[in-house]
Structure 1
Amino acid sequence: MPFTWVDWAIVAIVAISALISLSRGFVKEALSLLTWIIAGAVAWMFGGSLSEYLAGYIQTPSARVIAGCTIMFVATLIVGAMINYLIGELVRVTGLSGTDRFLGMAFGAARGVLLVVVAVGLLSLGPVQQDEWWQQSQLVPKFLLVADWSKNLILGWSSQWLASGISVPADIPFKEHLLPTAKTPQ
């Protein structure tokens, strides 16, 4: 059976991701991913603290926390982009760019496959399984197997984690910044 349009779309997603990473290189791609993860962690940990300084500008506590987290996230992305540029230049001048680009292409292809696995897994939750394009696809069933395997793996890990008695921390870093402060009577 020939490829359907959805199969060609899957191939295009993986190929485009690989080509983008081929042009950027592994070091830039890996540092970019790391920067996004660090930016999320920094926003999570310090956004609430920054929100205290925004009290004179933003009255609503939740909007203050959102603004604080957003500022921390964007600032971390900017710093990460500068570091990424400097390290990218270092890789370029050391002559490792060929190897870096090849590894980047492999990284990009893996990222494209991951994107397709997530998309197929999410789409499978809806009524698309009855659609003709879904049923006639050559690649969707293969990616659906990986999506199901991943889901079962994640559910297994999370059930072991919960059964071990470890729980999600009840206190989020910025919880106290969302609650109204108690005023002492004078």
Structure 2
Amino acid sequence: MNTVMNWIDLGFFIIFLLSFIFGLVRGFIRSIVSLFFLIVAVYLGIKYAPQLAEYFAKPKGNDQAIPYLLLIGMFLLIFIVTLIIGGFVNYFLRMIFLFSDLGFIDNFFGALFGLVRAAIITIIIIYIVQLTPSASKPEWRESKVVMYFQPMTEWIVNKISPTLQNLKEKVNKTIEKIEPKNSGSTNTVPANTQPVNTQPANTGTTKF
């Protein structure tokens, strides 16, 4: 077995190093708050964007592109507003830690958080690459980092796959619900609107 790290391992090492340094500088509290608001932004966007899109789509016309644009727009609006609020919270936390003696402890745990974040990024990258032909290349299969994180990646994917599938079905149903209905259906035209004379016509001659 080859024990030498290749360029793929080097790339993952850079990810861990940068995330470690960023967590060390940013601190644990601010990193946690940023991650928290990121998760909240995604959750609120997924939960409430379809409802807002449905509300604003009601007075619209029959253009079927409008609901999709509204759905994306409402998600981005909720996502951005939530992140802006998180930015203000982080700013005030930064001011607090600048005038306290907890800076060293905060930075230490921030560095540990950076390592955890790098591990999550690594798992996501491995999952994406596994869906492509690049996963069969020798350098990928021989990567020490890939071999270490592969079992963990498969376990996580198996756990969250049902949730992702349910989320996809929910979004599809919501889109179908807010799509404008076609008002030009031919079924609205009533059939047999005029009575039909079923009595036979008198074709015979008049008898005297």
Q: Same fold judged by TM-score > 0.5?
A: yes
Partner SS for 1:95? coil
Structure 1, unaligned runs of 5 or more: 160-166
Contact map agreement 2:28 2:108 (CA 8 A) in 1: yes
- Cα deviation for residue 10 of structure 1 reads 1.2
Specify which of 40, 43, 53 is matched with residue 41 of structure 1.
Answer: 43
**1:88 Cα deviation from its structure 2 partner:** 2.3
Question: Which TM-score applies when normalising by structure 1?
Answer: 0.75
Q: Could you say which residue in structure 2 is the equivalent of 1:25?
A: 27
User: One-letter code of the match for 1:38?
Assistant: V
Q: Identity over the aligned pairs, expressed in percent?
A: 23
Instruction: Evaluate the alpha carbon distance shift between residue 152 and residue 178 of structure 1 in structure 2; reply closer, same or farther with a 3 A threshold.
Output: closer
Question: Displacement, 1:150?
Answer: 2.7
Give 5+ residue unaligned stretches, structure 2: 184-208
Give the distance between the partners of 2:147 and 2:134, measured in 1 at CA.
13
**Distance in 2, Cα, partners of 1:152 & 1:46:** 27
Q: Which amino acid aligns with 1:146?
A: M
> Does residue 1:83 correspond to 2:89, yes or no?
yes
TM-score (norm 2): 0.68
Alignment of 1:92-171 (within 5 A): 92-154=98-160, 158=162
The Cα of 1:175 is off from its aligned counterpart by 5.8
Residues 21-53 of structure 1: per-residue CA shift (max 9 Å, x gap)? 111011111100111111122223333454445
**d(CA) in 2 for partners of 1:148 and 1:174?**
30
Work out which of the two has the higher radius of gyration on C-alpha atoms and give 1 or 2: 2
Separation in structure 2 between the aligned mates of residue 176 and residue 5 of structure 1, nearest angstrom:
46
Instruction: Specify whether residues 28 and 136 from structure 1 end up closer, same or farther in structure 2 by C-alpha distance, changes over 3 A only.
Output: same
Q: How many residues align?
A: 173
* Cα root mean square deviation, aligned: 3.3
The amino acid across from 2:14 in the alignment is: A
1:5 aligns with 2:7: yes
The one-letter code of the counterpart of 1:180 is P
Task: In structure 2, give the amino acid aligned to 1:178.
Answer: I
- Give me the whole-angstrom Cα distance separating, in 2, the residues matched to 1:174 and 1:37: 21
